[in-house]
Amino acid sequence: MNEPNFNWNASAFFERLTASNRHARENGYRFYRVSSLEGFHDALGTMLSTKALVAVSDTSQGYTSLENTPHTRRVKLVFLAMRHKVGDMVAREKCMDNMRELFRQFMSMLIQEKTLLEENSIYLDPRINFNEIDRYFFTGCACAFFQISLDTYTDLRYNPDEWLTPDNNP
């Protein structure tokens, strides 16, 4: 069973990967922590001074399952963007290829991280979707994102000490 407050820090993981990956460094990727799609859009505002970026949302979607083995699922979003000449679809496709390669290299490290996470009863969903964002999302920028889903055991045993009773209600 994992520690009650153990949580995988996706931001720190991808920040470390962005800083240590040759492909990311050679192509000018900068790391950003954002909150949601709106935060990613704000980070895109730096694209005049940044060639490419990796942005991880510090928020997550998720749910708690009450069936069989109770667990909580959290979905983390990782955004990628790379600047290109406005209207140049050939350059845009090269940027997409570049981001696809970065994604592949990140996954080669995530597969190793998966083993470490499982030691703490955190399980990665083996299916990680890479999504390319429409060319009109941000002018002069190719954008994509992927989602990582993690499941953790959730202790849902009733504990009377967590509840007030008529005898101990202030």
Confidence of residue 142 (pLDDT cuts 50, 70, 90): very high
Confidence of residue 65 (pLDDT cuts 50, 70, 90): confident
* pLDDT, averaged across the chain: 86
- pLDDT at residue 1 tops 50: no
Q: What percent of the chain has pLDDT over 70?
A: 92
pLDDT tens, position by position, 10-23: 999 999 999 999 99
Query: Three-state DSSP class for 127?
Result: coil
Confidence of residue 98 (pLDDT cuts 50, 70, 90): very high
CA 117 from chain centre, in angstroms, equals 15
**Higher pLDDT pick, 36 / 142:** 142
This prediction has a pTM of 0.82
**Higher pLDDT pick, 28 / 63:** 28
Q: Which of 9, 30, 20 is nearest to 80 (CA)?
A: 30
Asked whether the beta carbons of 53 and 46 are under 8 A apart, the reply is yes
Q: Which of 152, 146, 132, 103 is nearest to 3 (CA)?
A: 152
- pLDDT at residue 38 tops 60: yes
Q: Which of 43, 69, 62, 38 is nearest to 54 (CA)?
A: 43
- pLDDT at residue 77 tops 80: yes
Going from the N-terminus, what domains does the chain have, and what CATH number goes with each? Answer: 10-155 (3.30.70)
Q: Rounded distance, CA 118 to CA 5, Å?
A: 15
pLDDT tens, position by position, 106-140: 999 999 999 888 888 888 888 999 999 886 677 88
**Higher pLDDT pick, 80 / 170:** 80
